[in-house]
Amino acid sequence: YDAVLENRNELHLHTKLSDDASVIGVREIFENAQKLGLKSIAFTNLNNVQDFPEIMMCAKKYEHIKVVYGAEVQYKHDADSPAYHLTLLAKNQAGIKELYKVISSISELDGANLIDLQVLKENRKNLLVGSCGSKGELFDLINQDKVPFAISTFYDYFEIFPSQNISECETNKKIFYLGEELG
């Protein structure tokens, strides 16, 4: 257990300013990360980057913890398709600017806040695009036993969220093996 925690990184974390049900603040996250010995934290609030100024201030105090700036966003291919999630992580300062452009493209459609996929495609040079676990299109396609090769190349990395659900665990295994196959 200690060996696992020794190399632990949190790469998908929401704060209380996220558009979902998180209740923890930025300062609390840094305090807990220090107690747990985390090496890095990726802040990925749903549909916003409002915490970035506070994160930058806290990062100065906890400079031994690597901060990755990101967001979880939603998209649809057309009006009839379901909304899927992506995780976007900035590789560098230019990536943060690209992330702001993507977040600025959000508009409401059918009760969901969606990014413009074209804006993402034009502004992803300095972003890493993740599959967002069980909320993502990759998970959905694999769960339906569809060959996801074309969509899997859209992602820079695959995310697997922990689950107690046997079906989700089986889908997670398939995603893991697809990742190994694709290198």
Task: Describe the chain by its helix, strand, coil percentages, rounded to 5.
Answer: 40, 20, 40
Read off the DSSP letter of residue 30: H
103-161 pLDDT, tens digit each: 999 999 888 999 999 999 999 999 999 999 999 999 999 989 887 677 888 999 999 98
Tally of CA atoms within 13 A in the half-sphere of 54 that contains its CB: 13
Residue type at 153 in one-letter notation:
T
In one-letter notation, the amino acid at residue 169 is C
At 125, the amino acid letter reads K
